[in-house]
Amino acid sequence: MAALIEALEGESDAVRSKAISILSLIRDPRALEPIIAQLLDRDYRLREDAAMALARFPLKKSVPALEKALRTDGRHEVHVAALQSLIVLFEAGFDEAIREVITVLFDASHDRRMRHAALAVIPLLRPREQRALLKKLRSDQDPEIARQAVQIEQALERPPRPDEADLRRALGDLASPRGERWNEALQLLVSFGERVIDPLIIEMVRKSRDAEYCARAGMVLRGLGARRLRPIVDYLERLEDPLPLEVIVEVVGMLEDKPLIYKLKDLIERLKARGETASEGETPDEMDRVRAKAHLQLARIGSRVAIDDMKETLGAPGIRIGLDLLAAVELIGKPDELLDLMRAYRKEDPWMRDQIRKVFLGIMRRERIRRTNRIFSSLSTGDRRTLDSILGPPEGRSGQPAHSGAAVHPVRPVRPSSR
Q: What is the DSSP string of 125-143?
A: S-HHHHHHHHHHHTT-SSH
In a domain, 202, yes or no: no
Of 91-105, 181-195, 327-341, 398-412, the poorest mean pLDDT is in 398-412
Percentage of the chain surpassing pLDDT 70?
89
Give pLDDT, residue 91: 77
Give pLDDT, residue 400: 47
Give pLDDT, residue 162: 58
Residue type, 71: R
CB atoms within 10 A of CB 300: 20
Residue 402 has pLDDT above 50, yes or no: no
- CA-nearest of 346, 326, 345 to 412 is 326
In a domain, 51, yes or no: yes
Give pLDDT, residue 1: 55
Q: pLDDT averaged over the chain?
A: 83
In a domain, 9, yes or no: yes
pLDDT per position as a tens digit, 343-357: 999 888 888 899 899
Residue 379 has pLDDT above 70, yes or no: yes
Residue type, 206: R
CB atoms within 10 A of CB 255: 19
pLDDT per position as a tens digit, 45-67: 999 999 999 988 877 889 999 99
Give pLDDT, residue 58: 74
Give pLDDT, residue 396: 53
In a domain, 114, yes or no: yes
pLDDT per position as a tens digit, 96-139: 999 999 999 998 888 888 998 898 888 888 888 888 999 999 99
Name the burial class of residue 253, with classes exposed (0-12), middle (13-18) and buried (19+) by CB atoms within 10 angstroms of its CB: buried
* Euclidean distance between CA atoms 392 and 57, whole angstroms: 32
In a domain, 107, yes or no: yes
Query: Model pTM?
Result: 0.61
DSSP percent split of the chain into helix, strand, coil, nearest 5 = 70, 0, 30
**131 Cβ neighbours under 8 A, 6+ residues apart:** 153
Give pLDDT, residue 106: 92
CATH code for position 6: 1.25.10.10
In a domain, 160, yes or no: no
Give pLDDT, residue 164: 79
Confidence band for 397, pLDDT divided at 50, 70 and 90: low
* Euclidean distance between CA atoms 38 and 163, whole angstroms: 43
pLDDT per position as a tens digit, 129-172: 888 999 999 999 889 889 888 888 887 775 555 577 888 899 99
Taking phi over 0 as left and psi of -120 to 50 as alpha, with beta for the rest, 395 belongs to beta
Measured at the CA of 227, the angle between CA 226 and CA 230, to 5 degrees, comes to: 80
Confidence band for 324, pLDDT divided at 50, 70 and 90: confident
In a domain, 94, yes or no: yes
Would you call 413 helix, strand, or coil by DSSP?
coil
Domain count, the chain: 1
pLDDT per position as a tens digit, 214-224: 988 988 888 77
Q: Which has more pLDDT, 10 or 331?
A: 331
Name the burial class of residue 360, with classes exposed (0-12), middle (13-18) and buried (19+) by CB atoms within 10 angstroms of its CB: buried
Burial 132-163 (b: 16+ CB within 10 A, else e): ebbeebeebeeeebeebbebbbeebeeeeebe
CB atoms within 10 A of CB 375: 11
Task: Calculate mean pLDDT across residues 354-365.
Answer: 92
Domain limits for position 78? 1-124
- CA-nearest of 216, 160, 228, 210 to 188 is 160
In a domain, 418, yes or no: no
Give pLDDT, residue 334: 92
Residue 401 has pLDDT above 80, yes or no: no
Cα distances (angstroms) measured from residue 298 to each of 92, 267, 291, 358? 16, 11, 11, 21
Give pLDDT, residue 71: 92
Of 46-50, 157-161, 307-311, 319-323, the poorest mean pLDDT is in 157-161
Give pLDDT, residue 273: 85
